Amino acid sequence: MSEEAIPPKVQQMLLHFQQLQQMLQNILARKQQLQLELAEVENALRELGKLGDDVPVYKSVGSLLVRVEKADVMKELEDRKEFLNLRLQSIEREEKRAREQLEELRSRLARELGARG
């Protein structure tokens, strides 16, 4: 079927389908980044939990390492973990919506193209 034979309505649907696929890829990339950061935070919390309260803890600030209280770093990491979990839930909802839209559009396209064949 040549491009001229595809009705403008179906061409628009195909374009929208491609845009939705790209959007889903972007969502999945952001989700993966969040998951990696969350794993790093959880690992840091686990390692800090193994340390005694008297062990010095340092935090990277720019190109410096600054000594900080373990409790302060734990609190900061817990807050970051909570934020990342909330953001991950939001991204997963976006992903679900995008997948549903793609599937619905895929069905519509199949009907449109099937009716023409």
Query: The domain that contains 47 carries what CATH number?
Result: 1.10.287.370
* Burial per residue of 57-91, b for 16 or more beta-carbon CB atoms within 10 angstroms, e otherwise: beeeeeeeeeeeebeebbeebeebbeebeeebeeb
* Among candidate residues 38, 28, 22, 18, the one with its CA nearest the CA of residue 82: 38
Tell me the residue range of the domain where 104 lies.
3-116
* Among candidate residues 77, 81, 79, 23, the one with its CA nearest the CA of residue 51: 77
pLDDT band at residue 6 under the 50/70/90 scheme = confident
Predicted TM-score (pTM) of the model is 0.82
Note whether 14 and 78 are within 8 A (CB).
Answer: no
Mean local confidence (pLDDT), 30-39 = 98
The answer to which of 17-21, 47-51, 55-59, 109-113 has the lowest mean pLDDT is: 109-113
What pLDDT score does 114 carry?
80
Mean local confidence (pLDDT), 46-56 = 93
Number of domains composing the chain: 1
